[in-house]
Amino acid sequence: MSSRSVTWPAPAWSTAVLAGVAIPVLAMLVLLATSSPLALASGPIFTLGLMGIGIIATATVGHFWIGVALALMNAACLLMLALALGMPALPHPVSTTLALVIASGSFAARGALFAKTLSHRGWLMALFVVAGEGSVLLLASVWPGALPQWFLALLPAQWASIAIQTALTGTGTYAAMSVLIALAGTAATTLLAARLWLHRWPYLLMFTTWLGLSALVYFWSAPTTPNADLTVVASAATRAAPIVIGQHSKKRTPPMSALGR
């Protein structure tokens, strides 16, 4: 632990702040400058913030609960900034809190596994994961349909984005039940693998659980369209940037399984 804190303080923490704070804030400011409804792009933005801090910071400090606390504090700050920039008040505060807590735990668990297995180099693997999943999340948001739905169903970042989006745009916890279950399940098995990392069977359990929960998300998909009561969002939809237009539709989003066929 001491070697991690001494060897990698500057690059590791700088990367965590860049991915978890700077890029989400910049995305909010871009949406504000283009008069785009922030609520409709909140899922990917908050997910990136949780990933950047939750995975990279946890891999740096090596403690799960510290990573969860840092990720939640960052999410709270990003949420307050979004509200100050004009995002409508939370329609379901409890659902939003639940989504943020479960997503933070899932990301922090992966960071803890990297720290346990790779020691002071764990943050490099965390950076690779955040960059990869963040890029896919951005691509799926800006160009809907560019990636197959079965592929998106494999990504925990997409699960978190759906959970947060449904909570912040009015559809609540039940609509995101499948992704919340998937995030919680992967968090539990990842923590088990981190605790018993010298054994092989927890990794097999983690991998099979991930595939099973991905299938759950694929066949029981949560809708990502905003609720009609967000009149502020609806009135601004015609001026939305591509990242927003891709998530705004008057029709209910069909299940991932239907889209992937």
Residue 121 has pLDDT above 50, yes or no: yes
Q: What percent of the chain stands above pLDDT 70?
A: 80
Q: What is the pLDDT of residues 10-30, one digit of tens each?
A: 888 999 999 999 999 999 999
Q: What is the pLDDT of residue 228?
A: 34
Tokens of 16: 């965590």
Asked whether the beta carbons of 52 and 13 are under 8 A apart, the reply is no
Residue 151's nearest CA partner among 227, 214, 243 is: 214
Q: What is the pLDDT of residue 106?
A: 95
Q: What is the pLDDT of residue 261?
A: 43
What is the spatial distance between Cα 29 and Cα 38, in angstroms, rounded to a whole number?
A: 9
Global model pTM greater than 0.75: yes
Q: Please give the residue that has the higher pLDDT: either 114 or 168.
A: 114
Residue 137 has pLDDT above 60, yes or no: yes
Tell me 181's DSSP state: H
Q: What is the pLDDT of residue 258?
A: 47
What is the spatial distance between Cα 57 and Cα 69, in angstroms, rounded to a whole number?
A: 10
Q: What is the pLDDT of residues 83-109, one digit of tens each?
A: 999 888 888 899 899 999 999 999 999
Q: What is the CA radius of gyration of the chain?
A: 18
CA 211 vs. chain centroid, Å, equals 18
Q: What is the pLDDT of residue 8?
A: 53
Mean per-residue pLDDT, 75-80: 95
Residue 112 has pLDDT above 70, yes or no: yes
> Which residue matches tokens 């785009």?
36
What is the spatial distance between Cα 14 and Cα 212, in angstroms, rounded to a whole number?
A: 35
